[in-house]
């Protein structure tokens, strides 16, 4: 009888452990404003995919407000404050170099979906083990940013750019401006409105049209300068806490990766592209002038940016990455995918 009770107890414990293992709730942070489409559409769509793929065993919620500042997403995931969060890779250059391959100047295309696919393939080949302390679920790349003037004079030359005080995202674009001698105020995109609306700067760089809408920058913008080659874009990573990931069964892990990886990256990039189309329409309706950068200006910026790309190759190589071949693979694959999507 005692043996039978022991078997029953063991079976009950096994069932409880199985139930606990089979029902996982993910707290997914979104550091954009709550009304932003990343919070309203991109991350909710992924959670729907996850729930469907795992037959309801893994579900998630998105807090109504971000629980951590934009630069602290990785830390908040690693420490278990949240389970999942997107991370702008420009803020974690001390941790990873691989995702920054897509953020080198003038290596992007206007096809965000192609860039996202190319970056995932680059990750799989060149830096699959770089994300220490977290598990990488996906990456995506957004449409390239441009140069914007807050005065009646558009920015169409090196002299005009150098003589401005410019807001920029941290990373390659801010470093280029510093190298050129421009006055630079760098910070996360969610803080751009505070700087730009107060007139602290008289121009800004590296944001795509949707950001002008999302961060209410259109009233402070007079003109936009576009480049024939994508000047600068940003990449994001979707991270999950390692302990939380370990709670999920191998079968459900595989199911989640099937709806993450390149599938999530392409979806997020397409959503961003569609939002940029809406942003561009809003800019034109507001009377913002659109200018194509003169070839002399664009070529001068490309030449000035090359040392920064070389510096990235050197830094990534010092971390043990095959950076030169990584860059060549990414740009070649991007060209192929962009051409196939046209």
CB 211 within 8 A of CB 193: no
Give pLDDT tens digits for 118-174. 999 999 999 999 999 999 999 999 999 999 999 999 999 999 999 999 999 888 899
What ranges do the domains of the chain cover? 146-232+288-341
pLDDT of residue 7 exceeding 70: no
Q: How far apart are CA 68 and CA 82, in angstroms?
A: 9
pLDDT of residue 332 exceeding 90: yes
Tell me the average pLDDT across 332-342: 93
Tell me the average pLDDT across 49-60: 98
Strand 134-141 and strand 235-241: pairing? antiparallel
More confident residue, 18 or 30: 30
Share of residues in the chain with pLDDT > 90 (%)? 87
pLDDT of residue 285 exceeding 70: yes
Say how many C-beta atoms besides its own lie within 10 A of residue 183's C-beta: 16
More confident residue, 224 or 90: 224
The beta-strand segments (E) located in 143-245 are: 146-149, 165-168, 183-186, 203-207, 223-226, 235-241
Arithmetic mean of pLDDT over the chain: 92
Q: What is the pLDDT of residue 214?
A: 87
pLDDT of residue 311 exceeding 90: yes
Tell me the average pLDDT across 77-83: 98
Provide the edge-to-edge strand list for the sheet that holds 165-168: 183-186, 165-168, 203-207, 146-149, 223-226, 289-292
pLDDT of residue 10 exceeding 60: no
Instruction: Name the pLDDT band for 22 (thresholds 50, 70, 90).
Output: low
Q: What is the pLDDT of residue 342?
A: 81
Tell me which of 3.40.190.170, 1.10.760.10, 3.40.50.2300, 3.40.50.720 is the CATH number of domain 146-232+288-341: 3.40.190.170
Tell me the average pLDDT across 99-114: 95
The whole-model pTM stands at 0.89
CB neighbours of 80 closer than 8 A, spacing ≥ 6?
241, 243, 244
Q: What is the pLDDT of residue 190?
A: 84
Instruction: Name the pLDDT band for 197 (thresholds 50, 70, 90).
Output: very high
Q: What is the pLDDT of residue 189?
A: 86
pLDDT of residue 6 exceeding 90: no
Q: Which of 40, 34, 70, 67 is nearest to 191 (CA)?
A: 70
Q: What is the pLDDT of residue 20?
A: 44
> Cα dist. 248→10, 21, 62, 113, 219 in Å?
21, 6, 19, 29, 47
Say how many C-beta atoms besides its own lie within 10 A of residue 290's C-beta: 13
Q: How far apart are CA 297 and CA 154, in angstroms?
A: 13
Q: How far apart are CA 200 and CA 196, in angstroms?
A: 6
Give pLDDT tens digits for 225-278. 999 988 999 999 999 999 999 999 999 999 999 999 999 999 999 999 999 999
Look up residue 144 and give its DSSP letter. P
């Amino acid at each position: 009888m005692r043996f039978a009770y022991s078997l029953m107890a063991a079976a009950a414990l096994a069932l409880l452990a199985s139930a606990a293992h089979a029902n996982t709730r993910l707290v997914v942070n979104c550091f954009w404003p709550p009304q932003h489409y990343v919070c309203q559409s991109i991350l909710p769509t992924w959670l729907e995919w996850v729930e469907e793929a795992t037959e309801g065993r893994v579900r998630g919620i998105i807090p109504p407000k971000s629980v951590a500042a934009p630069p602290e997403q990785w830390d908040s995931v690693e420490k278990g404050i949240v389970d999942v969060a997107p991370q702008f890779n420009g803020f974690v250059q001390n941790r990873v170099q691989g995702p920054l391959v897509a953020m080198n100047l003038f290596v992007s295309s206007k096809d965000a979906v192609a860039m996202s696919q190319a970056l995932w393939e680059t990750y799989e080949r060149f830096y699959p083990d770089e994300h220490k302390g977290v598990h990488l679920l996906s990456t995506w790349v957004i449409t390239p940013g441009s140069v914007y003037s807050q005065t009646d004079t558009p920015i169409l030359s090196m002299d005009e750019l150098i003589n401005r005080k410019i807001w920029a995202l941290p990373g390659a674009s801010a470093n280029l401006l510093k190298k050129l001698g421009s006055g630079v105020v760098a910070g996360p995109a969610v803080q751009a409105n505070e700087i730009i609306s107060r007139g602290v700067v008289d121009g800004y760089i590296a944001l795509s049209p949707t950001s002008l809408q999302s961060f209410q920058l259109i009233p402070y913008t007079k003109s936009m300068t576009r480049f024939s080659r994508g000047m600068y874009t940003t990449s994001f990573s979707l991270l999950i806490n390692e302990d939380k990931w370990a709670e999920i069964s191998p079968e459900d892990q595989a199911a989640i990766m099937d709806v993450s990886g390149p599938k999530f990256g392409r979806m997020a990039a397409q959503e961003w592209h569609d939002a940029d189309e809406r942003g561009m329409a809003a800019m034109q309706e507001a009377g913002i002038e659109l200018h194509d950068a003169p070839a002399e200006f664009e070529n001068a910026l490309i030449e000035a940016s090359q040392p920064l790309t070389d510096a990235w190759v050197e830094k990534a190589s010092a971390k043990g990455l095959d950076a030169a071949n990584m860059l060549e693979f990414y740009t070649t694959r991007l060209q192929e995918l962009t051409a196939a999507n046209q």
